[in-house]
């Protein structure tokens, strides 16, 4: 980094390489095809190239680079999950995030803010206690604090008992962070392409070619391409693409909406989530209040925004942060979340040989981008399910061995 800066300072021209080394033409065959150029697909390509020396890879994207849920998420990164399997997995991701700017040579603006999961009921306090104990046991920094301590750390929050649902306490997770989501995806794309990986946008996979129970390639709007291995990482389109491979998934596609306010000077340091009120908020580096809640009430393939969402969000937000009454909404949007029944992802091997899946990321997959890329790459390269991914295999639904994370993932993301 310092040398690069020095080069910049002394040069009259722009000494940096172009970020993306696009190759316009598709080859006929690759070692690996990855469907979906969101953060997950790009991270997997990067780790296949860097850790496993597999560089003859095409990442196929029907739209533009990382324009799916990666571009729409509210960037909360944390490891304070509920199950030991979940905590171990997300913990590795948080560790990878901490050094990601160096790893990818791009500023992902990883910013540790501290993360509150507020409790307004005794039941929520119990869940907070449960999560704190599991977290501490697994070496993740989390503790239960009372309302006075919440107020001390976050003075702008209203914790009086005049609110409709007063704050009783919180699960406090100091490492909770936010990051610059686009830079994460672009960093992976840039570093993967530098190593020879091809990323093809405007290239939609329409069919998956299967011979004798093995994936052998895909058909796209730009023709047929063969590959030794095929991996899908398409978030909201997971069921649609998996069906092309003859697979039926435990997934419902449900919109998740979010919005930001106009930017203001720094006033809120922490990330604040309330599972009971179905709201969360953080302040971005630009000063915007980034806000969201739970998924919509029913399934839909659409990224429309609704007034109902904003009304219920703002009602609670104004009680928690009365100063928000002064702010105007600047933008609103939505993404299509691929929701599983246990609020855990689906990763790894499938019944189709040489076909790998990364799906079920719902409302919580941004934080997993680094670990998922690393471990899915390992899975694709070795053809074996890595230990860390074993609990999240698609086959868990056949053995009724679910990984119930609803208590930690339904609004917290």
Partner 1 sequence: MKILNCPLNGPRNISEFVWGGEMKAMPDPATATDAQWTEYLFLEDNTAGEITEWWLHAPTNYWFIARRNTITDEILETMTYDAFLARQQANASGEAEPAAKPATGGTETGATSA
Summarize as ranges the residues that interact with partner 1 (CB under 8 A): 239-240, 248-253, 297-302, 304, 306-308, 341, 397-398, 400
Q: What are phi and psi of 132, to 5 degrees?
A: -60, -40
Q: How many degrees, rounded to 5, is the angle at CA 49 between CA 47 and CA 55?
A: 150
| DSSP conformation class of 174 | T
Binding mask 112-151 for ligand FAD (x = CB under 6 A): ----------------------------------------
| DSSP sequence for 311-338 | HHHHHHHHHH-GGGGG--EEEEEEEEEE
Residue of 43, 73, 42, 47 lying closest to 60 (CA atoms): 42
Q: Residue 73: name its binding partner from partner 1, ligand FAD, none (Cβ under 5 to 8 Å by kind).
A: ligand FAD
Q: How many CA atoms lie within 13 A of 4 on its CB side?
A: 6
CA within 13 Å, CB half, 2: 0
| C-beta closer to ligand FAD: residue 336 or 388 | 336
Residue whose CB is less far from partner 1, 223 or 341? 341
Dmax (CA) for the chain in angstroms is 66
Q: Is 239 a residue that touches ligand FAD (CB under 6 A)?
A: no
Least distance in angstroms from the C-beta of 84 to ligand FAD: 19
**Residue 212's binding partner, choosing from ligand FAD, partner 1, none, with beta-carbon cut-off 5 to 8 A by kind?**
none
- Shortest spacing between CB 259 and ligand FAD, in angstroms: 9
Please give the residues from 41 up to 60 whose contact with ligand FAD meets the rule CB under 6 A: 41, 60
Q: Is 299 in the site for ligand FAD (CB under 6 A)?
A: no
**Residue 68 engages ligand FAD in binding (rule: CB under 6 A):** yes
Cβ-based nearer residue to ligand FAD, 28 or 207: 207
| CA dist., res. 322 & res. 279, Å (int) | 15
Element (H, E) at 310: helix 307-320
Binding of residue 186 to ligand FAD (CB under 6 A): no
CA 191 – CA 36 distance, rounded (Å): 17
Which partner in ligand FAD, partner 1, none is near 292 (CB below 5 to 8 A by kind)?
ligand FAD
Q: How far is the CB of 237 from partner 1 (least distance, A)?
A: 9
Cα–Cα distance measured from residue 361 to residue 101, given in angstroms and rounded to the nearest whole number: 23
d(CA 36, CA 79): 25
Closer to ligand FAD by Cβ: residue 161 or 311: 311
**Closest approach of Cβ 324 to partner 1, in Å?**
23
Q: Per rule CB under 6 A, is residue 74 in the interface with ligand FAD?
A: yes
Beta carbon of residue 412, minimum distance to ligand FAD (angstroms, whole number): 8
Q: How far is the CB of 347 from ligand FAD (least distance, A)?
A: 11
User: For residues 120 and 367, which CB has a smaller minimum distance to ligand FAD in the complex?
Assistant: 367
In the set 229, 367, 374, 396, which binds ligand FAD (CB under 6 A)? Answer: 367
Q: What CA–CA distance (Å, rounded) separates 67 from 235?
A: 12
- Give the CB-side neighbour count of residue 177, counting CA atoms within 13 A: 23
Burial status of residue 21 (CB atoms within 10 A of its CB: 0-12, 13-18, 19 or more) = middle
Closest distance between ligand FAD and the C-beta of residue 379, in Å? Answer: 15
Binding flag, residue 356, ligand FAD (CB under 6 A) = no
Site residues (CB under 6 A) for ligand FAD, limited to 190-219: 204-205
Cβ atoms 254, 339 nearer than 8 A:
yes
Which of 55, 110, 48 lies closest to 77, judged by CA? 110
Say which entry of ligand FAD, partner 1, none residue 308 contacts (CB below 5 to 8 A, set by partner kind): partner 1
Q: How far apart are CA 329 and CA 120, in angstroms?
A: 26
CB of 371 to partner 1, least distance (A): 24
Interface with ligand FAD by CB under 6 A: which residues? 35-41, 60-63, 66-70, 72-76, 204-205, 233-235, 237, 241, 256, 258, 292, 335, 337, 361, 363-367, 413
């Amino acid at each position: 980094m310092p040398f690069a800066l020095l080069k910049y300072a002394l040069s009259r021209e722009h000494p940096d390489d172009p970020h993306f080394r696009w190759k316009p033409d598709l080859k006929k065959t690759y070692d690996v095809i990855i469907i979906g150029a969101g953060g997950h697909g790009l991270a997997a390509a990067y780790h296949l190239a860097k850790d496993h020396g597999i560089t003859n890879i095409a990442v196929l994207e029907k739209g533009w680079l990382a324009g799916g849920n990666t571009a729409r998420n509210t960037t909360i990164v944390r490891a304070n999950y509920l199950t030991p399997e979940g905590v171990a997995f997300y913990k590795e991701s948080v560790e990878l995030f901490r050094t990601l700017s160096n790893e990818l040579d791009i500023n992902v603006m990883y910013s540790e803010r501290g993360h509150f999961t507020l409790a307004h009921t005794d039941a929520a306090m119990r869940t907070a206690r449960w999560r704190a104990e599991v977290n501490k046991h697994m070496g993740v920094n989390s503790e239960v604090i009372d309302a006075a301590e919440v107020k001390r750390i976050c003075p702008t929050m209203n914790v009086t008992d005049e609110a409709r649902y007063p704050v009783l306490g919180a699960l406090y997770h100091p490492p909770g962070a936010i990051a610059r989501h686009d830079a994460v995806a672009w960093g992976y794309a840039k570093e993967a392409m530098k190593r020879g990986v091809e990323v093809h946008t405007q290239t939609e996979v329409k069919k998956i070619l299967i011979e004798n129970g093995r994936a052998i390639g895909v058909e796209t709007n730009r023709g047929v391409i063969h590959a030794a291995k095929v991996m899908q990482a398409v978030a909201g389109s997971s069921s649609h693409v998996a069906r092309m491979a003859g697979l039926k998934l435990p997934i419902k596609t449900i919109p998740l909406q979010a919005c930001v306010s106009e930017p203001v000077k720094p006033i809120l340091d922490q990330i604040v989530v309330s599972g009971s009120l179905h709201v969360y908020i953080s302040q971005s580096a630009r000063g915007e209040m980034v806000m969201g809640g739970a998924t919509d009430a029913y399934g839909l393939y659409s990224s429309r925004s609704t007034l109902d969402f904003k009304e219920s969000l703002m009602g609670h937000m104004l009680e928690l942060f009365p100063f928000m009454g002064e702010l105007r909404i600047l933008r609103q949007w939505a993404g299509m979340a691929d929701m599983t029944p246990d609020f855990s992802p689906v990763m790894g091997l499938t019944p189709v040989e040489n076909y790998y899946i990364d799906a079920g990321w719902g409302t919580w997959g941004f934080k997993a981008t680094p670990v998922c890329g690393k471990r899915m790459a390992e899975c694709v390269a070795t053809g074996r399910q890595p230990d860390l991914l074993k609990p999240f295999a698609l086959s868990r639904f056949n053995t009724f061995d679910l990984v119930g994370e609803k208590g930690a993932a339904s609004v917290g993301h």
